[in-house]
């Protein structure tokens, strides 16, 4: 009996999870493609390079879509069970709410385990490759972005203007060499076409004339008529050049890589502290191995004998030089600690996003039972996810500024949401009303809003 219920609920979760994962991935992907359109269009990229760029960026989209899909699946599945009174039947048969939630927790544990492996082992390397390909595409020059009626100066040595672009090619072509060239060239042609070969653009022009003027020999002016001629222009970065790089950002590192960087920064931090300690010991302004208060410093300054200068000037110079050294070392300390916090934030964000799958079950099951199967279920899921994501981003920003411990900043949203989910689950298990769904629907319906009071007749 119990195994049958587990399988039944598990199947109820699997179908909406797959559908929601597909839909959410497509939504995020379309949004990404729209934003990246200006990077990939007009670059002369092959279809496979564009496909590779999109596929590589699909990794971080999946990292966001998987936890949200778990929440949507739980809300839909348990909402459907509550709508058809199957949850009521289970509880009437003596099955408790925690037992009803168990299949969802097992499901979230499996999905969360995969997410953990994906975030820590696969995603960093894919992010690294996506960044390299994106920068390679950004550095690649466009083939030619010719707009009829306008001069185009994308070419390094020439300006070009075209009256019209038809299926037959270019019509009314005018080409001028740029002013910094010693040999000035002006070409007028009735028609033409372009092609690329290696790092070159080849213009084939028909029915026109060419004017040549050497600026060193102004009396040497040439004018040529042609039926057909070719102009070859070398263009840097016309072809996509792939490169490798060992430099990785925090989102491109595995936790093992980041822990190694943390140890390196902590070692530098300790060496900097030792240098500050040596500065204090070697300075005549300090007594012993500890900083002293301002009154003691001033008293020490007055007792420093320096020949040839007034005591005040000498003491001030020594004081300023010592303070500058300590402040420069302090800036290094802050830089090292900021790096440590940045890596700790990224490590625990990868972990927390995997555990989010389980936390969303604690919140989603009771909410699904309360709201039942309604049209607002997806909106509730997206709203909850973005609240969680906003809290995560805010925690990351505070941790980077060293205002909050990075571990606390990354785990606090999960902890708060888990506590809220357990409280709602407890209230639902006691059949208590936590949220008045009818009142909530009335509140969010714009038709029920009253900006001005109505007059009574």
As given in the structure block, the two tokens for residue 307 are 């020949």
Measured CA to CA, the distance from residue 177 to residue 162 in angstroms comes to: 15
State the average pLDDT over residues 18-25.
92
**Model pLDDT, residue 312:** 56
Contact (CB, 8 A) for 396 and 409: yes
Q: Which of 41-55, 147-161, 201-215, 352-366 has the lowest mean pLDDT?
A: 147-161
- pLDDT, residue 114, reads 95
For residue 198, what is the DSSP state? Answer: T
Identify the three-state secondary structure at position 317: helix
Token pair for residue 397?
């920003």
Q: What are the φ/ψ torsions at residue 199 (nearest 5 degrees)?
A: -100, 35
Alpha-carbon gap, residue 118 to 59, rounded angstroms: 9
Q: What is the pLDDT of residue 263?
A: 92
The pLDDT-based confidence of 386 (bands split at 50, 70, 90) is confident
Q: Which range, 24-33, 80-89, 166-175, has the best average confidence (pLDDT)?
A: 24-33
**Whose structure tokens read 């960044």?**
131
Which residue bears the tokens 């140890």?
263
**Position 221 pLDDT exceeds 80:** no
| Cα–Cα distance, 257 to 271 (Å, whole number) | 22
Give the pair of three-digit tokens for residue 326. 């300590």
Mean pLDDT over residues 141-146, rounded? Answer: 56
pTM of the model: 0.68
Least reliable range by pLDDT among 253-262, 309-318, 409-418: 309-318
Beta bridge pairs of residue 166 = 169
CB of 367 closer than 8 Å to CB of 380: yes
Rounded Cα gap, residues 443 and 124, in angstroms:
44
Q: How far apart are CA 189 and CA 226, in angstroms?
A: 9
Q: Please determine, for residue 196, whether its predicted confidence score (pLDDT) is greater than 80.
A: no
Residue 308 scores a pLDDT above 80: no
Residue 15 has pLDDT above 70, yes or no: yes
Q: What is the dihedral of CA 247, 249, 255, 259, to 10 degrees?
A: 70
Q: Which residue has the higher pLDDT, 247 or 454?
A: 247
Of the candidate ranges 81-90, 93-102, 295-304, 406-415, the one whose mean pLDDT is the lowest: 295-304
More confident residue, 296 or 252: 252
Give me the pLDDT at residue 215, please. 74
pLDDT of residue 198: 60
Sheet holding 200-214, edge to edge: 151-152, 158-166, 169-177, 183-197, 200-214, 217-234
Between residues 144 and 370, which one has the greater pLDDT?
370
| Least reliable range by pLDDT among 65-74, 216-225, 313-322, 400-409 | 313-322
Q: Mean pLDDT for the chain?
A: 79
pLDDT, residue 376, reads 59
Residue 110 pLDDT: 94
Measured between alpha carbons, how far is residue 365 from residues 380, 419, 439 in Å? Answer: 13, 14, 21
- The pLDDT of residue 29: 92
- Out of 5-9, 202-206, 235-239, least confident range: 235-239
Q: What pLDDT does residue 63 have?
A: 92
Tell me whether strands 169-177 and 183-197 are parallel, antiparallel or unpaired: antiparallel
Alpha-carbon distance values, 453 to 74, 447, 448, 450, 456 (Å): 41, 14, 12, 7, 9
**In the structure, what pLDDT confidence band is assigned to residue 118 with cuts at 50, 70 and 90?**
very high
Higher pLDDT, 203 or 182: 203
With beta carbons less than 8 A apart as the criterion, state whether 99 and 6 touch: no
Which residues share a beta bridge with 211?
A: 186, 223
Q: What is the pLDDT of residues 388-412, one digit of tens each?
A: 888 888 888 888 778 889 999 999 9
- Residue 262 pLDDT class (50, 70, 90 cuts): very high
Burial zone of 211 (CB within 10 Å; 0-12 exposed, 13-18 middle, 19+ buried) = middle
Phi-psi region of 169 (alpha: psi -120 to 50; beta: other; left: phi over 0): left
CA separation for the pair 50, 126 (Å, rounded): 15
Per-residue confidence (pLDDT) for residue 107, from 0 to 100: 94
């Amino acid at each position: 009996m119990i195994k049958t219920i587990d399988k039944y609920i598990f199947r109820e979760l699997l179908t909406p999870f797959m559908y929601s994962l597909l839909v959410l991935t497509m939504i995020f992907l379309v949004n990404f493609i729209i934003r990246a359109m200006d990077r990939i269009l007009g670059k002369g990229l092959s279809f496979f390079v564009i496909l590779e760029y999109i596929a590589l960026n699909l990794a971080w989209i999946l990292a966001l879509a998987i936890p949200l899909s778990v929440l949507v699946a739980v809300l839909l599945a348990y909402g459907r069970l509550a709508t058809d009174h199957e949850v009521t039947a289970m509880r009437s048969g003596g099955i408790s709410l925690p037992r009803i939630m168990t299949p969802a927790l097992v499901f979230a544990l499996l999905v969360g385990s995969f997410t953990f492996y994906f975030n820590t082992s696969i995603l960093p390397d894919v992010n690294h490759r996506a960044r390299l390909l994106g920068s390679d595409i950004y550095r690649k020059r466009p083939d030619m972005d010719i707009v009829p009626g306008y001069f185009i100066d994308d070419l390094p040595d020439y300006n070009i203007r075209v009256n019209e672009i038809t299926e037959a090619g270019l019509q009314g072509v005018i080409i001028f060499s740029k002013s910094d060239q010693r040999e000035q060239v002006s070409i007028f042609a009735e028609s033409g076409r372009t092609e690329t070969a290696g790092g070159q653009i080849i213009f084939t022009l028909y029915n026109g004339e060419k004017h040549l003027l050497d600026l060193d020999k102004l009396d040497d002016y040439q004018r040529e008529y042609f039926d057909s001629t070719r102009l070859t222009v070398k263009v840097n970065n016309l072809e996509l050049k792939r490169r490798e790089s060992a430099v990785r950002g925090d989102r491109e590192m595995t936790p093992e890589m980041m822990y190694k960087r943390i140890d390196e920064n902590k070692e530098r931090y300790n060496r900097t502290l030792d240098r500050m300690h040596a500065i204090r010991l070697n300075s005549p302004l300090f007594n012993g191995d500890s900083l002293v208060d301002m009154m003691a410093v001033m008293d020490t300054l007055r007792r420093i004998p320096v020949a040839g200068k007034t005591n005040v000037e000498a003491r001030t110079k020594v004081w300023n030089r010592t303070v500058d050294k300590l402040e420069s070392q302090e800036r290094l300390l802050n830089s090292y600690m900021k790096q440590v916090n940045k890596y700790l934030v990224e490590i625990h964000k990868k972990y927390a996003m995997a555990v989010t799958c389980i936390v969303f079950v604690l919140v989603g099951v009771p909410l699904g039972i309360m709201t039942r199967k309604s049209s607002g279920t997806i909106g509730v899921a997206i709203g909850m996810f973005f609240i969680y994501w906003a809290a995560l981003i805010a925690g990351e920003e505070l941790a980077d500024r060293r205002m909050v411990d990075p571990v606390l900043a990354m785990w606090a949203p999960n902890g708060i949401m888990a506590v809220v989910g357990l409280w709602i689950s407890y209230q639902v298990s006691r059949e208590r009303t936590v949220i008045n769904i009818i009142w909530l629907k009335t509140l969010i319906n714009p038709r029920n809003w009253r900006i001005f009071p109505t007059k009574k007749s």
